[in-house]
Amino acid sequence: MNEVEKMRSSRLADMSAPEIQVKFEHAKRLLAKMRVLSTYDEEYRSLLEELVPGIPATSVICPPFHCDHGDGIRLGGHVFVNANCTFLDGGYITIGAHTLIGPCVQIYTPHHPMDYLERRTEKEYAYPVTIGEDCWIGGGAVICPGVTIGDRCVIGAGSVVTKDIPSDSVAVGNPAKVIRKNIAKKYRSLIA
């Protein structure tokens, strides 16, 4: 198992390994080009599709955007990621269809060893983050490694999500806590 495979499977991986460094460099070069473009520039979309392979045509990530690899990001259709977000995608970041990500949202998958001597090495874990369909992640929210947010959730602006959030929940605070169920209104006929 190489270091990329270790990283993607939540095992302790050596971030200094050449196969990981190549991925970092590729992403950083694409992101640098994207920073001077808008979502309306033709070149922007082709760079985004190279950075995030398989991104649906209906999904958008607004610049500036920051990530570690890009190929660890999996988006459903009609996902909107607002400006100045950071997705550290050592572990997979999966976002369901019709989810809205506010500006300055940070999604982290890396997790450093707790032992300070181990932390001095260039090794880390990466735990996947999953966000369901039809969610709204408020601006400035932080989603921590290994978290799963269910479908139809609303995460309040500035919240820090450290634990899983069940579907149909509204969660706010630091650490984020569920404050109520999110009951959908009967607008389905307008959407269909």
Could you tell me whether strands 73-75 and 100-101 are parallel, antiparallel, or unpaired per DSSP bridges?
Answer: unpaired
Examine the residue annotation and report whether 112 is marked as an active-site residue of this protein: yes
| Contact predicate 57/75, CB 8 Å | no
From the candidates 26, 66, 69, 112, give the one annotated as an active-site residue: 112
**CA–CA separation, 191 and 181 (whole Å):** 22
**CA–CA separation, 112 and 93 (whole Å):** 18
Cβ-defined contacts of 178-186 (< 8 Å, 24+): 182/152, 182/153, 182/154, 184/152
H or E element that contains 83: none
Identify which of 61, 87, 70 has the alpha carbon closest to the alpha carbon of residue 30. Answer: 70
**CA–CA separation, 171 and 46 (whole Å):** 35
Give how far the C-alpha of residue 117 lies from the chain's centroid of Cα atoms, to the nearest Å.
29
Report, as residue numbers or ranges, the catalytic residues: 112
